[in-house]
Structure 1
Amino acid sequence: MRILIVEDEPKLARVIEQAMKEANYEPSVAHSLAAARQQIASEKPDLILLDIMLGDGSGMDFLAEVRQASEVPVLMLTARTGIEDRILGLDGGADDYLVKPFRLEELLARMRALLRRTRGGATTVTVGDLTVDMARRRVTHGGKVIFLSTTEYALLELLARSPGEPVSKGTVLKHVWDDAERAPNVVEVYVNYLRHKLERGEAPRLIHTVRGKGYVLSEAPPE
């Protein structure tokens, strides 16, 4: 999930960005509205964290601009505590509103809630001893938490959204790397990374290669 952080306070932006990475999101930072416009066009984020007061304009005005073109979830961040400001933001198209200072845990929880609404509900997929909690972006195997990189998690989530069904290399390249022109062997490399983490010791294989079709997440080998 791509998260765009529109925040002109460098220290706060870095803290939020690091928290996003640790939660297996793919964050990018825009320190101005001009940069945000470019990144929205090129990256197509799944969620935007938007400060209200920025150096080159109003976050509220920018929100109206975003809403003219997209329904991407927007969570407003602001130091303003007045109820009037919250009403203005929510009526202006914001999906949620968080007052600074805030705890990162609350920010992440609100983000998960917004993304659940966008995806039409929380999803947990279990294949054998493997559980992928897409709401919390949490992976466990045999009851133990498995720590994955952002790219590893994105690949596993894509496979978990279609358990038992082959996912082609082309689809993986498009959804995980957003680049169908990238060398296909990068998919094989990351599939092997996942297998190494999920199939240690005597653990059965869960990610199977289907010749000519791609990869499938299943407890039993495909016939």
Structure 2
Amino acid sequence: MLTVLLVEDDRDLADTLIQYLALEDISCDYASNGVAGLELMSQHHYDTLLLDLNLPRLDGLSVCQRLRTAGDDTPILMLTARDQINDKLLGFDAGTDDYLVKPFEMQELVVRVRALAKRRSGQVRKLSCGDLSMDLTNKTLTRQGQPIKLSPTGWTLLETLLRASPSVVSRKQLEQALWGDEIPDSNSLKVHLFNLRKAIDMPFKTPLLHTVARQGFAIKVIDAHKENE
């Protein structure tokens, strides 16, 4: 069952949405203001966030911005009565993934929720694993507070791995992320992975970049006493 959080100050609309989503086998938590919504987001995992734009205490744009700044990659569907292109652009700039203008058809809401729930948001601006932190807005990378410099290719490689972390990314997926269909010789990825390991792991005690036999590569924290996969 999918689990979503609805942040909406119109209680009648909220009740209607919650009841309809339940019929579609979608569990829905509820918050009536932005501050309460952020609190629930910090306490639970949700497949999708349904976020009204006009909210008391903290508006939807601010909620969205704070979540993305904190590195939360939950897909966000903004619900609003505003249908001007500038309003939509503001929403996307803040980090929303999709936009639904009120009034809307309930079935359309369900379709969009299910589509968003299949992926994590690409709008997140901060990625991290353990003590490694990548700030996509400021283009900075640190581990244990120490700045790390990467080549543009190394940056793309690490971003791809961090977005999937802790899951494994196949060699083919990494090659496509770096070069598309114009993949260079077979040693190129190996060289870039070596350089990435040298930058993010070698100066530190605990490795984060792991080779997973016959599957690919992963950025993750593992037990110090556990053998590398």
User: Match of 1:5, as an amino acid?
Assistant: L
SS in 2 for 1:101: coil
Q: Which residue of 2 aligns with 1:72?
A: 74
Q: Which residue of 2 aligns with 1:12?
A: 13
Q: Which residue of 1 aligns with 2:33?
A: 32
Q: Structure 2 matches for 1:73-92, cutoff 5 A?
A: 73-92=75-94
Deviation at 1:65, TM superposition (A): 0.3
Deviation at 1:116, TM superposition (A): 2.4
Looking at structure 2, the residues matched to 109 and 118 of structure 1 have their Cα atoms a distance apart, in angstroms, of 16
Deviation at 1:91, TM superposition (A): 2.2
Q: Which residue of 1 aligns with 2:44?
A: 43
Q: Which residue of 1 aligns with 2:173?
A: none
TM score, norm. by length of structure 1? 0.51
Q: Which residue of 2 aligns with 1:94?
A: 96
Count the aligned residue pairs: 119
Q: Structure 2 matches for 1:18-167, cutoff 5 A?
A: 18-69=19-70, 70-118=72-120
Deviation at 1:118, TM superposition (A): 3.7
Looking at structure 2, the residues matched to 114 and 94 of structure 1 have their Cα atoms a distance apart, in angstroms, of 11
**CA offsets 1:45-66 (integer angstroms, 9 cap, x no match):** 1210000001112110110001
Looking at structure 1, the residues matched to 58 and 37 of structure 2 have their Cα atoms a distance apart, in angstroms, of 12
Looking at structure 2, the residues matched to 34 and 89 of structure 1 have their Cα atoms a distance apart, in angstroms, of 18
Looking at structure 2, the residues matched to 96 and 3 of structure 1 have their Cα atoms a distance apart, in angstroms, of 15
CA contact (8 A) 2:79 2:100 kept: yes
| Root mean square deviation, CA, Å | 1.4
User: Match of 2:80, as an amino acid?
Assistant: T
**CA offsets 1:11-34 (integer angstroms, 9 cap, x no match):** 000011111111111111100112
TM score, norm. by length of structure 2? 0.50
Looking at structure 1, the residues matched to 43 and 119 of structure 2 have their Cα atoms a distance apart, in angstroms, of 24
Structure 2: gaps spanning 5 or more residues: 122-229
Q: Structure 2 matches for 1:150-189, cutoff 5 A?
A: none
User: Match of 1:97, as an amino acid?
Assistant: Y
Looking at structure 1, the residues matched to 105 and 29 of structure 2 have their Cα atoms a distance apart, in angstroms, of 20
Q: Which residue of 2 aligns with 1:218?
A: none
Looking at structure 1, the residues matched to 114 and 3 of structure 2 have their Cα atoms a distance apart, in angstroms, of 13
Looking at structure 2, the residues matched to 62 and 37 of structure 1 have their Cα atoms a distance apart, in angstroms, of 7
Deviation at 1:80, TM superposition (A): 0.5
Structure 1: gaps spanning 5 or more residues: 120-223
SS in 1 for 2:118: helix
Looking at structure 1, the residues matched to 120 and 26 of structure 2 have their Cα atoms a distance apart, in angstroms, of 16
CA contact (8 A) 2:73 2:120 kept: no
